[in-house]
């Protein structure tokens, strides 16, 4: 993206459409994200001393609020045959991804960790099989299955068989915040 349009984006920052700039960016290349530093699955949602949970990963917004990333995630979901175990989010051999139950955490970096490391009872580890950027794109799409990202980031349907209701029309409960702007307590 040329620097000139970046400048005009900044100049028009007063408009609500500034969010649109981030939503619409098409980062097909990206910088190679660090494969490490994703942490393990959370044992419990409770924090010692009743403190608030740690802030979400700063990289999360780049993917979750980006329509291109969610769309690429959707294509990867089909190509990597995630539907084989998870159906189109409804679950089968694997747990459903559309609901608010997250065995291993539902924040962006936690989903990425699940994809990267694999999980007991059948979730394969994709480390080395997918690039970190692809994992983050998949995580953004997975969160869209439970309608976590903003409505204007999502698309109405995919160009394939439709097994579920349109993401833009799913009822939305922001259960697990992922962007710094939406930090709230997690539900039990």
| Contact positions vs another protein (CB under 8 A) | 1-2, 5, 8-9, 12, 17, 20-21, 23-26, 28-30, 32, 67-68, 70-71, 74-75, 79-80, 128-131, 133-134, 151-152, 155-162, 165-169
Sequence-distant (≥ 6) Cβ neighbours of residue 118 within 8 angstroms: 124, 125, 126
Of 21 and 85, which has the nearer Cβ to another protein?
21
With vertex at residue 95, the alpha carbon angle to CA 108 and CA 184, rounded to the nearest 5 degrees, is 35
Say which residue the tokens 């992922």 belong to.
178
Which of 103/129 has CB closer to another protein? 129
Q: How far is the CB of 129 from another protein (least distance, A)?
A: 5
**Minimum CB separation from another protein for residue 48, in Å?**
37
The residue (of 42 and 140) whose beta carbon lies closer to another protein is 140
What gap in Å lies between CA 33 and CA 51, rounded to an integer? 29
Cβ distance to another protein smaller for residue 114 or 137: 137
Nearer to another protein, 74 or 105 (CB): 74
Distance in Å, CB of 64 to another protein, minimum: 13
Name the minimum Å distance from CB 10 to another protein.
11
């Amino acid at each position: 993206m040329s620097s000139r349009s970046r400048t005009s984006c900044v100049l028009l920052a007063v408009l609500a459409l500034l969010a649109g700039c981030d939503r619409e960016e098409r980062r097909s290349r990206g910088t190679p994200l660090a494969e490490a530093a994703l942490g393990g699955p959370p044992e419990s949602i409770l924090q010692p001393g009743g403190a608030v949970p740690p802030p979400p990963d700063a990289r999360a917004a780049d993917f979750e609020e980006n329509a291109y990333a969610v769309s690429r995630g959707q294509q990867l979901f089909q190509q990597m045959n995630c539907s084989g175990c998870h159906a189109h989010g409804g679950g089968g051999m694997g747990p459903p991804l559309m609901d608010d139950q997250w065995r291993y955490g539902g924040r962006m970096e936690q989903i990425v960790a699940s994809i990267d490391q694999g999980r007991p009872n059948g979730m394969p580890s994709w480390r080395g099989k997918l690039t970190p950027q692809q994992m983050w794109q998949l995580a953004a799409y997975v969160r869209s299955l439970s309608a976590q990202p903003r409505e204007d980031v999502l698309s109405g349907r995919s160009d394939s068989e439709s097994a579920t209701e349109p993401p833009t029309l799913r009822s939305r409960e922001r259960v697990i915040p992922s962007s710094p702007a939406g930090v709230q307590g997690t539900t039990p």
